[in-house]
Amino acid sequence: MNSKPLHVAIVGGGMGGLAAAVALTHRGISVAVYEQSSVLREVGAGVFIYPNSLRQMERMGLGDALARVGAKVGSGSEYYRMDGSVVGKILTTDSSGWNGMYGMHRADILKVLADALPASAIHTGHKCTGFSQDEAGAHLTFENGNVAHADVVIAADGINSVLQKYVVAPSAPEYAGCRAYRGLIAADQLPDWRREAHQVWMGDGKHFMVFPVRGGELYNYVGFVPTTSQTAESWSAVGDRDELAAAFAGWDPRVTHLLSKVETCFWWGLYDRKPLSQWVNGRLALLGDAAHPMLPHLGQGANQAIEDGTALAVILGSHTHGNTSVEDALQRYEALRRPRTSMVQAEARKNGLRYDSKYADLAQRDKEIANSAQLRRSLYDHDIEKEALRFLSLDGVAA
């Protein structure tokens, strides 16, 4: 048994980093989170929490807090063509029928995660500038002059990760040729809207979606529009609401009515990467967008990051109970997670083509949309904690 308590440093205080910190703390592992911003914050944007990540967070004791700030998504969820004709139902349960699906404001889930950690574990105003490692441990340097030491470093610092270069040769993110406009509208502005619905309209080269957040007080909308030039990968760039409305002129009256209520919006460019050749170098491991940035067309980016954190917690927990090195433990984490996230990355790209109607025959697209329920069910059914425990047992490691 490893007698020395394990200490993990996490670079990045977004959803992936904080979820990993909660998962590790839940298993008795000491953590410190280093965030470059002066405060923990997420700009106002919605995110889906699906059954595959919600079941993990409920096991961490976060179920009640998430239920208070989430908006249940279920009845009335549908896909449409741009004119409003129904293509099919959107799956909102796992195979057991559990409707563990919330629309959430990113700031709300970030607060839930932060509140589950000791205040002393979170260090804001720490922009990481360097990494090194030796037999004694891993070492981080920061722009403010501070230095941190840990047994393991987790890079949860996003698609433009500072630490990724210490694992693989740097590569530029790939632009998807699409700009996403997003914003929030008070529910009382749309009194006739379906309260629990996730609704997706699909048209020529673009698509539009709406779902509730913050207990149903707000609706989050996103309009995906093709561009001829790159748009910055930013959550806070101010968009042109008239340009957004013009992009969806002539669509289903429900869409145009909602857009008539928009006063301000934001936009961001969509980027991902092809799967990396490796995620781990010694005591350093990548997590979330630093490892597998994906397009949002399956809504799985944050959910896969939460799965990453859970897998790490299980596998590093096995290190504390056995004789494996932390380096070996991190290699197991990569071996478990990389095939799944590579699949989800690829499927997110494919689903974007469906949503944007990149088909000569829309009947074929509609058939694939209907059949996509099977993929979504497999995503939602996945239990990463059980899978990690099974993976360790097959490898002869005690968990």
- pLDDT one-digit tens code per residue, 163-178: 999 999 988 899 999 9
Cα–Cα dist 378/51, whole Å: 11
Mean local confidence (pLDDT), 140-157: 98
Sign of the dihedral through C-alpha 111, 114, 119, 125: negative
Sign of the dihedral through C-alpha 122, 337, 386, 94: positive
Sign of the dihedral through C-alpha 173, 174, 175, 180: negative
Q: How large a percentage of the chain has pLDDT more than 90? A: 85
7-48+65-70+102-172+276-370+386-394 sits in which CATH class? Answer: alpha beta
User: Across all residues in the chain, what is the average pLDDT?
Assistant: 93
Q: What is the pTM of this model?
A: 0.95
Angle formed by the axes of helices 362-381 and 51-59, nearest 10°: 20
Cα 176 versus chain centre, distance: 17
Written as one letter, the residue type at 292 is H
Q: How large a percentage of the chain has pLDDT more than 70? A: 95
Say whether pLDDT at 53 is over 60.
Answer: yes
Cα–Cα dist 268/261, whole Å: 21
Q: How confident is the model at residue 319 (pLDDT cuts 50, 70, 90)?
A: confident
Cα–Cα dist 105/103, whole Å: 7
Beta strands, E only, 156-245: 174-186, 199-203, 206-213, 218-226, 237-238
Give the SS3 label for residue 10: strand
The pLDDT of residue 202: 97
Mean local confidence (pLDDT), 264-276: 91
The pLDDT of residue 231: 67
